[in-house]
Each structure stands twice: as C-alpha cells, then as structure tokens.
A = this chain, B = another copy of it.
Amino acid sequence: MLSDHLQNGIETAKLVWSRLPTAEDDAGPAAAEEEEDVFARRSNGGSGMESLDYEIIENYAYREHQAQRGKLWVSYYVVVKWLFALLIGIGTGYAAVFINLAVENFSGWKYAATFSIIQHSYFAGFLVYILINLGLVFSSVFIITHFAPAAAGSGIPEIKGYLNGVDTHGILLFRTLVGKIFGSIGSVGGGLALGKEGPLVHTGACIASLLGQGGSTKYHLRSRWLRIFESDRDRRDLVTCGCAAGVAAAFRAPVGGVLFALEEVTSWWRSQLMWRVFFTSAVVAVVVRSAMSWCKSGKCGHFGSGGFIIWDISGGQEDYSFQELLPMAIIGVIGGLLGALFNQLTLYITKWRRSYLHKKGSRVKFYCAKDKEYNDLATIFFNTQDDAIRNLFSAKTFHEYSAQSLLTFLVMFYSLAIVTFGTAVPAGQFVPGIMIGSTYGRLVGMFVVKFYKRLNVEEGTYALLGAASFLGGSMRMTVSLCVIMVEITNNLQLLPLIMLVLLVSKAVGDFFNEGLYEMQAQLRGIPLLESRPKQYMRNMTAKEACKTQKVVCFSRIVKVADIVSVLRSNKHNGFPVVDHRPNGETLVIGLILRSHLLVLLQSKVDFQNSPFPCDLRGVSNRHNFSDFVKPASSKGKSIEEIHLAQDELELYLDLAPFLNPSPYIVPEDMSLAKVYNLFRQLGLRHIFVVPRPSRVIGLITRKDLLVEESDDSATLELQSTSVRAQRPRERLVMQHVQQPEHPLLSSLLIQQ
C-alpha cells in the first residue's frame, strides 16, 4: 500500500517536472535524480523572494529564471520597493503642490486683472474674466481631447478597476499623467464646478505605474535597473501606494489616504502592503508641508494656504447636546437623498449624452463630441464665485448668508455639478460634494440656531456635517471618508457626529442605488467585483455558472497551427492544459495564459520538430522574461499581429514549462457565492471547475501550517481546531490494534 502510494506520488510529481527527455513513465534512478536536480534548482530559486508572488507567472521557466538571479538581486528588489514608495510619495506630493501653485496663481492673476479693469468698465472686467476662464478651460479640453483622452473625468473608477483586475486602456500612460496634471490646472483654474482630488489620485497612480515599469516606454525614458517589477501584483501594490499618496496629497490626510486605498480602491489587501502605503502617505505629508512652509516666505506668487483643503474648525463648536442629534440625522437623510439623486441624474445624463451622440450618428471621436458641448455650457459655468464658496466654510460667522441665497446657490451648484460631471476634463467630485453638502448643512444649521436658541450651535459645524453627508450619500465611503473629514477639519471631537451623519446618509443612499464610482465603473464597462456576492449566487453551483460554456483545452504538446486557430477562434484568456497518459487517462496539468502563448508564438524559439516533450533545462535560457510581463501601457499583443510561416505552423510546442502547474480549483457543486469570495479575496482571474474528486489524498489543517517548536505547550489547556499532529507511528498502532476489533473500520480507512 505504501509503495503504491509512493509510486502514485512520484508519478504525479514527475508529470510536469521530471518527465523530461525520454517521456517514459518508470521511476528509475536516473529519472529520480533528474527530479531531485530540478527540485534543488527550484528551491534555490525560491530563496528569499519575500513577496514576489507566483500567482501571475509561476511556470517552470520563470522559476528557473528567478533562480539565476541570486540573493543580491533579492536585496536589491526590497531596496527598490521602498525606494519606489519614497519616490511615489515625493512625486505625488510635488505634483499636488505644482497643481495648487498653478491654480492659485492663475486665480490670483485672474482676479487681479478683472479687478483692475472693473475699475474702468464693469462690462470689460466681466468679459476679461470670462475670457480668462474660457481660455483656461479650453486649454484643459484641448489637452484632453488631442493629447490624453484617458485623463478625462475623475479617474478613480478606472484605478479601482485596475486594482480590481481590469485594465482600461491608456489610463496609466505618461501622456495621461501629463494631461491629468495640466488638464486639472485648466479646469479647476477655470472655475468649473469640480475639484482636483480625483485627478490627484489618478496622478499618484500614474506616477506609481510609470516607476513600476521603469519609466515611459514610448519616450525612451526606461531604465533597465528599475524594471524589476515583473508581476502584476507588484505593479498593483505600487498603484495602491500611488492612490493613497493622491488622497494624502489632495486632503493632506495621510491616514485618510491609507484608508481610502484600503476601503475604496483595492479589492484585496495584505498587511505587508499597508505599512508601505502608509510610508508613502507620510512622505507626501512631509513634502507638502515643507513646500508650503517654503511658500510662506512669499516665493510662490499668489499661493496661499487655500489651495489645500484644510478646513480648520478647531475654534468651532466644542460640545453638542442630545437635542442636536435630530437635525444632524436630518442632514444625514438629506445627504442620502441628494447623493442618490446625484448619482441617478449623472447616470441619466451620461446615458443621454451617449444615445444622443449615437442618434446623430456622429462618428467623431467620443471625447471630441463632448468638446462641443462645452461651448454651450461654458457661459453658465463661469458665474460661480470662488470667493462665495470659500466663505461658506467659515466657522465663526453667524447669519452671514440668508437662507434664500444659500438655497439658490444650492440649486444652481447642484445642477452645475451634475452637468459638468463626465465632461472631457479631469474632474474630482470631492470639492463639488463638499460645496453642495456644506450649503444645505448650513441651511439646517440656521434653522437649528433659530429653534434651539440657547444652545452653543455653530453653523460651520453643520456645514461640515452636511458636506460629510453628501459625500457619504453619493460616494458611499465610510471609514476613509470619516477620517478624511477629521483630518481636513483637524478636529477629532466631531468624529462621532460625522459618523452618525455618514451612517444615516449611506443607509438612505444605499436604499436607492449604488455608489457614484460603482455606477460610473459600470457605465464604462469596467467589471468591478462588489464586496459581497449577489443573492442568486448562493443558490447556484459553480457548475451551473459555466454550464453554457465549452471548455477549450490544449494538450501538453500541441501543433503551432492549432494554437493559432484556437487563439483566433475565441477570446479566452486562459486555457486548461491536459496530458494524455499512456493508459488512456487524461490529467489536467495546468493553466496556460493567452498572453504567454502569444509571447511563445512570437519568439518562436521554443518550436520543435518532434511531438514529444522537450528538454526543460534549456528553456529558461532561451527567454527574456520581461517578454512575459504584460506591459502596463499597452493593450497587449494580439494574435492578428503575429505572422507565422507555413513551415512554422507545422512545428510543435511543449507547453509544460510555461503553464501554471497548480491553478485554483473548485468542485463542481460549490456554491457560486463561495467561488465569488475566493475570487475577491485572492484576487484571482481564472478558476477551474472540476468534477468531485474520487479520493482525498490528505487533509491540511492549521496545525500543519505552523512550525511546531513549543515542546511544553502541553502544560496549557488548549482546544485547538485540529490536534492532528500526532505522528504516523501512533496512527499505525491504532490501526493494528483496532482492526481486529472492528472489521468494518478497515473499509473506512481508504487504502491509498
């Protein structure tokens, strides 16, 4: 039985790794040696690779490639990882400072010019003001439409999609970065009803991604020394750092940045990453702080502290009574309603825009068509008064605004924000949200002051709560938004109130529709996995989910022509590879990715004449493994771009060295909800649905995964989930003793 077991084990282990030159099935001494050799090299390859995950590229050839690198490379890798975290922080920090500097200075000049002209002629001043704004906005529109179309909008849905596992073309290019920065300056400086926070998140992500690939490919700015992040996971980690840096820079909220990246953006999270993300955020905070203190000496023109949202109400309301909780809850309800309405209206408008463009049959480019829309709207946009908005936030001002003017402003700005949304400029929704929210918050505050006269009620606090409620009702963020609001206001005292308001507004909003980013992502066709599976998935098995589908498999050794025809005939991104054993059995030996097949077809070096397994040893030398890494900045190769001669099509390819030998599998009748959780929590892209297994080789429990070293743990009572670690000797004894007593028992112990 034991030898059976061993034989079985060796056979399967051999399947991929050791069935090398002869393709024979006997486990002779030569084959065993071969296997050991291969394993030794594998072990060597694995040493010290602290977080290079093999999920994306975990084939034999890549492991060999890694093995050749050695320890020095690993240390270098760790150093570069932290260096990049530092650089992302510095880069994003300076980008934020630059954008703010530019916007503030443009605004300053604009007001100075308007003011000096308005002394002579009111109309001329108005005209100049409009012209300057028009110029700024058009420069932004021009940049987006002609140079960097991917830089339009907030960018957060796309980044969210990227981190969720979906690349939108062009979002992380160098030109997008430049377009985002200068586009933001134009649109925000031009006084549109939008902010620069979303764009800063996108900017951070772009910087991170560009660093990750060692610079821009197109502009020949790449350095070989920095191109060490070959796995998608490493890239995603960098982009996560970039996101956090963006939020940290936009709001000067390092903790909020980390939480934003954690809650809103990434779909999976590792605690190792958290610390690096936090480091990046702190670097941003230092950079912005030092830049601002340098500007205090007056070297930055019109730049004040207004550019960075710090809405300090530490001098405001310190205490609150229980009576006030009711109006605050009302603010939450209003926020939920207005936020949900905002999401719905922006959805309709974006859909209407699309169908309108479709009906006109205009084949003009999508973004260019939007360009025209700007003309119509431009005249309305420029009436918003930056000054009025800024004063809204002030804390110590009672009755500065009449209810009528606030209401008018609310309606106007709300409509403007909806119309501006989704146009061809980099647009953040935070600042408009804060403005809308603080307006009605202040309105409620005014009523509270009227009704509860004796209380130390502060309208500014209500404005803050209003802002939180609208953002909560629209974006549906919770913890991160809370922390961002606290960091903006620099007042921890209000945290419970902000939470209350967010709780209410999110609940009300969730009743009507989904969050803004989710809806946007859906509209743009970015498939985001929500945090929990849909209801129907609980009642569906994995098999039912892929019932209609025909699985296209490859044999281990395939003709090149067959690969080409399969790749042409469908768009699958991964294919199971099966091996046909001599006894007629088939065995699934792994998963091969379309992208890797394309690389193999293009390089041609692995083609062989014989339809028999190849010699694995030369494989890793034949390849430059950065080929296997999908470039972040392109759409990847396509089968149409690859040209093969007729004689090449007749050759064979052994897929064994290039497949992922152990993809994740689920039994056919696992509920789809469970599969969903696997996908989300592990960040998977493919999973195999397989038949129920015929036997269980082993059972792994937590105990098996722990290094056992505590020898005196028996002194302590412990109810472990598994105390299976009593070694085989005991089990053998048990078997010998009990078999005679209970003859039926032997049938329960499966003979392996």
Contacts and interface: CB of A to CB of B under 8 A. Distances in A.
Contacts of A665: 665-667, 693
B738 A693 contact: no
A271 B529 CA distance: 13
B702 A585 contact: no
Interface in A503-546: 503, 522-529, 531-535, 537-539, 541-543, 545-546
Interface in A452-497: 478-479, 482-483, 486-487, 490, 492, 495-496
A731 B707 CA distance: 49
Interface stretch (A44-52, A329-337, A406-414): A44-52
A67 to B, nearest CB: 11
A523 B586 CA distance: 48
A539 B706 contact: no
7 contacts: A279-B499, A358-B712, A527-B703, A533-B705, A549-B698, A550-B749, A578-B696
A695 B587 CA distance: 6
A605 interface: no
A43 B693 contact: no
Contact of A13 (B587, B669, B749, B750): B669
B542 A698 contact: yes
A549 B274 contact: no
A640 interface: no
Interface string A264-280: 00001111101100110
Closest 5 CB pairs of A and B: A546-B698, A525-B713, A690-B693, A662-B670, A46-B538
A559 B744 CA distance: 9
A489 to B, nearest CB: 11
Given A572-B724, A667-B665, A742-B561, A689 B695 contact: no
A241 to B, nearest CB: 13
A562 B529 contact: no
A47 B677 contact: no
A666 B674 CA distance: 15
Interface string A234-262: 00000000000000000000110010000
A578 B750 contact: yes
Interface stretch (A28-36, A111-119, A371-379, A715-723): A715-723
Interface string A550-589: 1111110011011001100111111010100000011111
Given A479-B275, A522-B710, A696-B690, A541 B13 contact: yes
A298 interface: no
Nearest to A721: B685
Interface in A1-55: 9, 12-13, 15-16, 39, 42-43, 46-51, 54-55
A573 B539 contact: no
Nearest to A322: B290
A635 interface: yes
A666 B42 CA distance: 21
A689 B700 CA distance: 7
Given A354-B712, A710-B522, A719-B167, A678 B687 contact: no
A709 interface: yes
A31 B523 CA distance: 44
Given A549-B724, A688-B696, A697-B668, A715 B366 contact: yes
A747 B555 contact: yes
Contacts of A358: 712, 715
Given A283-B496, A573-B722, 13 more contacts: A13-B543, A50-B532, A263-B271, A270-B532, A272-B532, A278-B479, A278-B482, A285-B495, A527-B720, A545-B705, A565-B741, A572-B724, A686-B722
B565 A745 contact: yes
B694 A586 contact: yes
A274 B285 contact: no
Contacts of A705: 529, 533, 537, 545, 672, 675-676, 679
Nearest to A731: B550
A624 interface: no
A588 B258 contact: no
Contacts of A165: 702, 721
A691 interface: yes
A543 B702 contact: no
Nearest to A169: B717
B46 A535 contact: yes
B278 A716 contact: no
Contacts of A734: 569-570
Contacts of A274: 263, 478-479
A701 interface: yes
A672 B705 CA distance: 8
Interface in A623-680: 635-636, 661-662, 664-672, 674-679
A285 B537 CA distance: 39
Contacts of A283: 496
B722 A685 contact: yes
A286 interface: yes
A47 B538 CA distance: 9
A609 interface: no
A545 B738 contact: no
A166 interface: yes
Contact of A550 (B525, B712, B735): B735
A674 B693 contact: no
A692 interface: yes
Contacts of A42: 539
B662 A719 contact: no
A361 interface: no
A24 B414 CA distance: 67
Contact of A539 (B43, B691, B731): B43
Given A278-B482, A562-B745, A748-B553, A690 B695 contact: yes
A263 to B, nearest CB: 6
A360 interface: no
A180 to B, nearest CB: 18
Given A674-B662, A698-B543, A719 B169 contact: yes
A679 B559 CA distance: 39
Contacts of A279: 499, 503
A727 interface: yes
A539 B46 contact: yes
A681 interface: yes
A696 B551 contact: yes
A573 B712 CA distance: 22
Most chain B CB atoms below 10 A, which of A496, A527, A710, A717: A527
